[in-house]
Every structure is written in C-alpha cells, then in structure tokens.
Structure 1
C-alpha cells in the first residue's frame, strides 16, 4: 500500500536546506484534489497546481498573462519553461514565508521531462505521492461527478482518452521515483478518510 521514501544522503541534505516539495500524481477521478484539500485543512501545507497558477497569471492582466491568454486562445500548449517558471515563483514565495511547510504540487509533473527539468531548475522533490486507482473506479467516479458538475470532459469517450494519456505519460515518472526511493504509493480505492489516514502515514505527518 505505502512505500515510505528512503532518501539518499544527498537528497536528505537538499530537503533539509530547501523547500520540502511533494509532487502529487493521480489519474482523473483518483481523488488527489480532495486529498490535497484535506492536507491543507489539517496541516496548513502549501498547495499549488500548474493550471491554477496559469489561470491566476492570465487573470492578473500582466504582460505574461496576456501572452498566455493569446497562446491558449489559439489552442496552443503553454511552454514547459513558462510552467516551470510559474511553479518556481510560487515555491520560492511559499518557502520564503513558511520554510517549514510541505509544498504540494498538484498534478505535476505529467511527464518525465517536466520532473527532471523542475529538479534541475528548482530543487529535488522530497516525496512523490501517487494515488493508485483502477481505471474502472476512476471512470465510475467521473461519470458520477458528471451528473452534478456538468463538466463536458466527464463523458465516457473523453474519460478513456484521458486515462490512456495519463498512463502513457505518467508511468515513467512513477517508475523513476520508485527507483529513486522517493515514491509514496497510496491506494485510492478506499473511502476518503481511509485514504487520508494512509496518505498522512506515508508522508510521516
């Protein structure tokens, strides 16, 4: 169920002197957003997602925000360098204000290149928290959510594509951090309170 991370001495020194980064990875419908909210509510950890940071930058009306808005309006992907920079700014600000806090990066990284570039430009992740859930469970949850959320991407065909994309892109990330001894795997098949208890245990909270 849970693999407690065994940090190398190098990673341990980095974790003590820099931000305590926790990548949070889980497929659509795995419940990672809910678990992040529960961690924030109970422990006051910092919580950022690249999507939220992008939307906030656009809403700010800054020059960079206007450029991002134009890029997204054209249906183009925002460059990884921009995403990494936004995350760096959020991490630096959070660490400066509350150096003791764990920083959750929700839904990041989505692929191995993002992970390696983040660690190269910012700092190594202390933990990588993975919420493991079957495709059937995630599909059932998303279809149930669609009845009340009205989200257009919660339909069976789109869900299948999202699951394939997640598995293809993210599996190498999980393998990489498992081999590095920093992967905390939590079953997301249980009720949210059980999942939360296991998450806290895995993170040593």
Structure 2
C-alpha cells in the first residue's frame, strides 16, 4: 500500500504539454487527433477566452474582445485562471485523466512568468509540442477556415498582426525551452495525416522512454 501511494499522488497532479505554433499551423486539428488516440484532455487557451467573452455575465468579456480584435495577447492572469478552472473541472470529473494539451499558451514571456509563478507547484510541464509551419501556409489555412469558422480574427489584416505577435513574443519561448531540451518539433506544413503520423511517432517514442 505504501509503495503505491506516491504514484497515486502523482496522478493527482496535472501533466501538461504546451502546444505552440503560428496561427493556422494546425494545432487544434492535431490536438483533436491526439485526444482520440492517446486520451489527453485538450484545452485551447484561445477557445477558453473566446467562450468567456461570449458570456453575458463575464467580468472579462469586453476586455478579452478588445484584445482579440487587435491581435494582442490577453493579460496572463485571465488566461491562467481560465486554464486552471478547466483543468480542475476535468480532474474533478476523472482524477486519473491528468494529461493535458494546452494549445496556444504560453504566448509570451509574461505568460510564461505568470504560469511559473501561479502553477509551478500545481502542474508539471513535460515539453512544448511545436508545430512548425511557414507564414504563407498558415495565412492561407486561416483564410480558408475563416469562410466557415465565424472567427472575427480569421482575416488577412488580423492574421498579419497575429503572426507578427507570434514571431516577436511566442517564438522566443520556444527557443527558451529548446535550450532545456524540452521542445518536440513537428513539421506542420504537410497534409493533416502526414503531420499526425509524425506526432504519433513522437508520442510513441516519448511513452517508451
């Protein structure tokens, strides 16, 4: 009984994979497939923020709306509170489902510092899953998605701002984790099935270590 106790305790702590890449790199699509294949819980920082801004009683809704329309990064305290609430709810429903894909976070140094300050003893970050894709492919994918997504930021003007923000703010976070050997890079420029094959190879390798 005593020997199994640490394992049980570890199971109660969320294990997080940060999923990063430019807008249109396919993060959401690939996360859906990872959930189906490996049983992780997918949390999209962007989706959580968009859902929150739609709530008529949300204290953050108007602020989130302004930031998203301008292609800016929402204050870290808001994003982390939404992520933490979502993880708590998921683990309350099933404590054994403690593996999370956090998609689109951290997006800048402020995000990372906020996470480290708030979550350093509450969750373990395994690595960054980095979907690497060229800008033009990302833009074209988002414009195509914008025809049916209803997202106000899937237009060329917003996309250019988002990509600029990504290059200036998010890419340095990936570089920082790379120095710690905590980045798993996936070439995301190809078709969905091809990209997921690379994801599977990486996940299966990680599981065998």
Structure 1 and Structure 2 fold alike (TM over 0.5): yes
Q: Does 1:22 align with 2:14?
A: no
Cα distance in 2 for residues equivalent to 1:137 and 1:79: 28
Q: Which residue does 1:199 correspond to in 2?
A: 199
Task: Assess if the C-alpha contact under 8 Å between 1:129 and 1:185 holds in 2.
Answer: yes
Does the C-alpha gap of structure 1 residues 90 and 34 become closer, same or farther in structure 2, counting only changes over 3 Å?
A: same
SS of structure 2 residue aligned to 1:154: coil
Q: Which residue does 2:60 correspond to in 1?
A: 68
Q: Does 1:91 align with 2:83?
A: no
Q: Which residue does 1:79 correspond to in 2?
A: 75
Task: Assess if the C-alpha contact under 8 Å between 2:52 and 2:61 holds in 1.
Answer: no
Cα distance in 1 for residues equivalent to 2:80 and 2:34: 23
Give the total of aligned pairs: 188
> Shift in Å at residue 157 of structure 1?
3.3
**Coordinate RMSD, CA, aligned:** 2.7
Unaligned 5+ runs, structure 2: 1-8, 68-72
Cα distance in 2 for residues equivalent to 1:114 and 1:104: 16
2:45 to 47, 50, 54: 50
TM-score in terms of structure 2 length:
0.76
Does the C-alpha gap of structure 1 residues 153 and 68 become closer, same or farther in structure 2, counting only changes over 3 Å?
A: closer
1:120-157 deviations in Å (ceiling 9; x for gaps): 32234112111000112212323333455565543333
2:108 to 106, 111, 134: 111
Unaligned 5+ runs, structure 1: 1-13
> Shift in Å at residue 197 of structure 1?
1.6
> Shift in Å at residue 175 of structure 1?
0.9
Does the C-alpha gap of structure 1 residues 66 and 94 become closer, same or farther in structure 2, counting only changes over 3 Å?
A: closer
Does the C-alpha gap of structure 1 residues 196 and 121 become closer, same or farther in structure 2, counting only changes over 3 Å?
A: same
> Shift in Å at residue 79 of structure 1?
3.2
SS of structure 2 residue aligned to 1:52: helix
Task: Assess if the C-alpha contact under 8 Å between 1:68 and 1:78 holds in 2.
Answer: no
> Shift in Å at residue 173 of structure 1?
0.5
TM-score in terms of structure 1 length:
0.77
